[in-house]
Amino acid sequence: MFGFINRRKRWIIGATALGAASYAGYKLWQRQQEIVLIYREVSKALRASNSRLKAHYDETQGSCDQAVLAHLATLRSRLAALADVEAMHARIRTESDRAAKLALWEELKLASIARTLTAVYALVLSHLLMRVATNLVARHLMLEHAATRAQDGWATAEAGDEVVDAGEPRPGTPASGPALPVSLQLRLLSAADHLVKGPGLTRLLATVQASVAASCASLPDAEVVDYARLERLLAGARKPIELGAE
């Protein structure tokens, strides 16, 4: 027996090495397939999560846009009442004195420019306030919902083994933090009301009117205003508002 093994020891060593290499190669291939499978599952879960987040984001932006559109009628009516350009037009048509008509024309010019700039600022600011507030509330509610689902899933998984305290945090569940009170949610979502429905619009219009009056003070009534001059006038009116320049 020993002689048989001694005569064929090279063949036996080669066969053993080949078998060991084949087994090691099989195990490496098996491990690689497991890693590929895990990678595919993780990628699929990430794609699904990203799709849900994108759908949630798009839905939130749509809700925000609808809320801003709902404020447009109020914003238009309040601006028309605060800067009544139509009434100035009527007074100019009925005024017979030339000096009074020129004064009304100057007032109409400033009021028209101020109302246009105020409308732009009010629309942009109200949209910004609504978008920030809506995204904050929606993100917080989404995290609360995800944390609740994770807690429910952990409790369901352990229900067959032990009694699970649903209020106790479990490892691996997303932390949502304290719940956002409904009163705070409503306060955030109504942040634009101060500008659209409250005194914010009156203060904004007064600031714009003062800036427009200072910018157009050097503009003669008889001068023809081209695009370049109008652009400089609007830039001069916007600078104190946007940069806080004196």
Q: At a CB cut-off of 8 Å and minimum separation 6, what does 12 contact?
A: 5
Tell me what pLDDT residue 36 has: 86
Tell me what pLDDT residue 55 has: 84
Tell me what pLDDT residue 143 has: 80
Tell me what pLDDT residue 180 has: 75
Tell me what pLDDT residue 117 has: 92
Tell me what pLDDT residue 92 has: 86
Instruction: Count the neighbouring beta carbons within 10 Å of the beta carbon of residue 176.
Output: 18
- Cβ atoms 21, 29 nearer than 8 A: no
Question: Three-state SS for 172?
Answer: coil
Tell me what pLDDT residue 155 has: 54
Cα 136 to Cα 56, 57, 62, 168, distances in angstroms:
13, 11, 15, 26
Over the chain (246 residues), the average pLDDT of each successive run of 10 is 58 72 81 86 83 82 83 88 87 85 85 91 89 85 76 56 46 53 80 84 91 80 73 86 69
Tell me what pLDDT residue 173 has: 44
Tell me what pLDDT residue 169 has: 45
Phi and psi torsions of 179, nearest 5°: -65, 145
Tell me what pLDDT residue 206 has: 92
- Cβ atoms 225, 233 nearer than 8 A: yes
Q: If we measure between CA atoms, which residue out of 93, 103, 99, 114 comes closest to residue 215?
A: 114
Q: If we measure between CA atoms, which residue out of 97, 117, 91 comes closest to residue 210?
A: 117
